[in-house]
Amino acid sequence: MSNPIFLALDVPQIEAAKELAGKVKGHVGGLKLGLEFFCAHGHHGVHEIAQLGMPIFLDLKLHDIPNTVAGAMQAIHVLEPAIVTIHAGGGRAMMEDAKAAAGENTKVVAVTMLTSLDDRDLSATGVQGSAHDQVMRLAELAERSGLDGIVCSGHEVGAVHKQWKHGYFVVPGLRLAGNSVGDQKRVVTPRQARDDGASVLVIGREISRAEDPLAAARMIEATL
Ligand SMILES: O=c1ccn([C@@H]2O[C@H](COP(=O)(O)O)[C@@H](O)[C@H]2O)c(=O)[nH]1
């Protein structure tokens, strides 16, 4: 079984990102580059990180009209990312067009509800029901739109997995028991997410902010 951990390289400098990724090489299965890194360094930055030889997850969370998102997908095609995120809230046509524009080796997954939000936050946006209901609804829409999978929290992944047997499930919001959750609200341990059917475990600060990132990565790997 390949290592499901993708390390979130949420650091602004290329050299710092490379150094961190180099330290944990062999103990994570891939590297996640998000908005902070991509806005600062664009394609050049992605090429630099790709030279480390690990699968790249471009967490761009695209959300716009279908034509614009399809154009963005075409523009990143050349980077050959293993995974790209879009927002399920963009609707069916946007998701269909994004998938059609992606490279055939790229998994396109839809963010359902950010792990930094809870039921109250959802209600404040005017959406009725619980976070769980919202994730289930958007997961069904993503599946019907032909996507490879979704991003959800560890609170929902078990239920989504039962409903969508061959989906690809990306789970952030992961913390070891007792550790600070920071800005995350729907949190589980990496082991819990894995046991409930996560395909990819996104881990950032538990490794990147650890005194010894290699020791942290090895320890988390050992819990799986
Ligand atoms: O719902 C979501 C979607 C994406 N993320 C991203 O995952 C990492 C999590 O970082 P931690 O430091 O492990 O909390 C980060 O890059 C987010 O942009 C998410 O947390 N939740």
Distance CA 167, CA 126 (A): 28
Residue 128: CATH number of its domain: 3.20.20.70
- The answer on whether 189 is annotated among ligand-binding residues is no
- The answer on whether 204 is annotated among ligand-binding residues is yes
**In angstroms, what is the span from residue 204 Cα to ligand 1's centroid?**
7
* Terminal CA-CA length for the chain: 11
Q: Predicted confidence band at 178 (pLDDT cuts at 50, 70, 90)?
A: very high
Mutation to probe ligand 1, out of 114, 115, 122 (largest number of atoms < 8 A from CB): 115
What local confidence, expressed as pLDDT, does residue 113 receive? 98
Q: How many CB atoms lie within 10 A of CB 213?
A: 20
DSSP state of 208: H
Smallest CA separation from ligand 1 atom 11, residue:
204
Query: Which residue numbers are catalytic?
Result: 59, 61, 64
Distance CA 156, CA 134 (A): 10
| Host domain of residue 79 | 5-223
Distance CA 205, CA 214 (A): 13
Smallest CA separation from ligand 1 atom 21, residue:
115
* Count of structural domains within the chain: 1
Question: Can you tell me the ipTM of this complex?
Answer: 0.99
User: Which contiguous run of DSSP H or E holds residue 210?
Assistant: none
Residue pLDDT, tens place only, 33-89: 999 999 999 999 999 999 999 999 999 999 999 999 999 999 999 999 999 999 999
Smallest CA separation from ligand 1 atom 18, residue:
34
Residue pLDDT, tens place only, 121-139: 999 999 999 999 999 999 9
Rounded-to-5 percentages of helix, strand, coil across the chain: 45, 15, 40
What local confidence, expressed as pLDDT, does residue 12 receive? 86
pLDDT above 90 covers what percent of the chain?
A: 98
* pLDDT at 150 > cutoff 70: yes
Task: Give ligand 1 pocket residues (Cβ under 6 A).
Answer: 8, 10, 34, 59, 111, 114-115, 151, 172-173, 184, 202-206
8 Å CB contact between 37 and 10: yes
- The answer on whether 99 is annotated among ligand-binding residues is no
Distance CA 59, CA 107 (A): 11
Kindly give the number of the ligand 1 atom that is closest to the alpha carbon of 175: 13
Smallest CA separation from ligand 1 atom 4, residue:
172
- Mean pLDDT in residue range 20-45: 97
What predicted TM-score, i.e. pTM, was given to this entire model?
Answer: 0.97
- The answer on whether 184 is annotated among ligand-binding residues is yes
What local confidence, expressed as pLDDT, does residue 188 receive? 98
